Structure 1
Amino acid sequence: MHRRLKTYLVEDNKTIRDNLIATLEDLAQVETVGHASTETDATTWLSNPSTDWDLAVVDIFLLEGSGLGVLEKLQERAPHQHLVILSNYATPSMRERCAQLGANRVFDKSEDIDALIDYCVERTSQLQ
């Protein structure tokens, strides 16, 4: 049996989060290990050494704080732990800022869902 990509979602919109969980679990061999809707909750969970995750999918705008804050606080992470941004605000300047803060990739919610799925499939195969 193949190992699934242990994924943590940081998204404050429940509908988007639920749809993303269903899509990624169905199409990208992802196992959702948790989620948060605030920067504080996300960084607390993701930075805890006892948590086991391979990928964090983070929105920029959250109920409290931002995805940029999550990126900033998680610059030091294990090499296999990738952090990607999934946002409606994936402008060229925002993409550059996210890259500066250590994002592995930036995806646009309205245009890049297929690319995110492909990225997850690729990451899963790299972890096998």
Structure 2
Amino acid sequence: MTAPIRVLLADDHRIVREGLKQVLADAPEVQVVAEAASGAQVLAAVHAAGAALDLVLLDIAMPEGDGLDVLETLRREHPRLPVLMLSTYPERQYAVRCIRLGAAGYLHKGADPDDMLAAVRKAAAGGIWVSGATAEALATAVGRRGARPGTDALSHREHQVLRLLTSGHSVGEIGAQLGLATNTVSTYRARILEKTGTKNDVELTLYMLGRG
């Protein structure tokens, strides 16, 4: 009998977790053994489970610990535990960044159920899941490596601030969520505007909409 793939499912929306569990239920060898609704809960669940986990399905936009920060922590503290990232953001915005940080792949939440199950199986087996869109994003990133224009030039923290800015959060709210001083967030914002060639938050949002 094939050993089960024991999964920790992490998303802050219960309805999304229920939908994902229904998709995973189509594969009898995949078992959701734990759930988490925040970054802090993910880390606590992984620490509690020890070796009883084979894979983490991790949302990027998580409260109490951004998904990318959680990914970095898991790769550092549990390097053998595969982490498959989930998001509603297009692959060209986050897939390359996630894989560079050590993710076992990047899945859009609207992915075909068969692709999702294939990604879970491949990541749990130690591979890296790369969809067609992710492969294109990786190829584009390699082609831009010399120039590093636009959002490709942003650091991990700048990318976090960018996501929150374009979601309508104020500088103060971003500081509270990321544990940063307001003036530090303002500095990151200024760097983001400079690197993207935009003048304000409205232009920045339009710039990101133009990138999908």
TM range (shorter): 0.7 to 0.9
Answer 1 or 2: higher relative contact order, Cα 8 Å, separation at least 6: 1
Structure having the larger proportion of residues in helix: 2
Task: Using structure 2 for the length normalisation, give the TM-score.
Answer: 0.53
**Match in the other structure for 2:74:** 74
**Match in the other structure for 2:2:** 2
Query: Aligned to 1:69, what secondary structure does the other structure show?
Result: helix
Could you tell me whether the CA contact under 8 Å between 2:23 and 2:113 is conserved in 1? Answer: no
**Match in the other structure for 1:24:** 24
Q: Structure 1 40/86 Cα, relative in aligned 2: closer, same or farther at 3 Å? A: same
Q: Structure 1 28/52 Cα, relative in aligned 2: closer, same or farther at 3 Å? A: same
Could you tell me whether the CA contact under 8 Å between 1:5 and 1:123 is conserved in 2? Answer: no
**Match in the other structure for 1:44:** 44
Task: Using structure 1 for the length normalisation, give the TM-score.
Answer: 0.83
Structure having the larger proportion of residues in strand: 1
Give aligned pairs, total. Answer: 125
What is the identity, as a one-letter code, of the residue corresponding to 1:104?
Answer: A
Query: Aligned to 1:32, what secondary structure does the other structure show?
Result: strand
What is the identity, as a one-letter code, of the residue corresponding to 1:64?
Answer: E
Q: What is the RMSD computed on CA atoms of the aligned residues?
A: 2.2
Indicate the percent of aligned positions where both proteins have the same amino acid: 26
**Match in the other structure for 1:119:** 119
Could you tell me whether the CA contact under 8 Å between 2:6 and 2:31 is conserved in 1? Answer: yes
The structural deviation recorded for 1:3 is 1.4
What is the identity, as a one-letter code, of the residue corresponding to 2:55?
Answer: L
**Match in the other structure for 2:13:** 13
Runs of 4+ deviating beyond 6 Å = none
Q: Deviations over 1:45-67 (max 9, x none)?
A: 21447351001001111233221
Correspondence 1:102-117 to 2 at 5 A: 102-117=102-117
What is the identity, as a one-letter code, of the residue corresponding to 1:93?
Answer: Q
Query: Aligned to 1:86, what secondary structure does the other structure show?
Result: strand
5+ residue gaps in structure 1? none
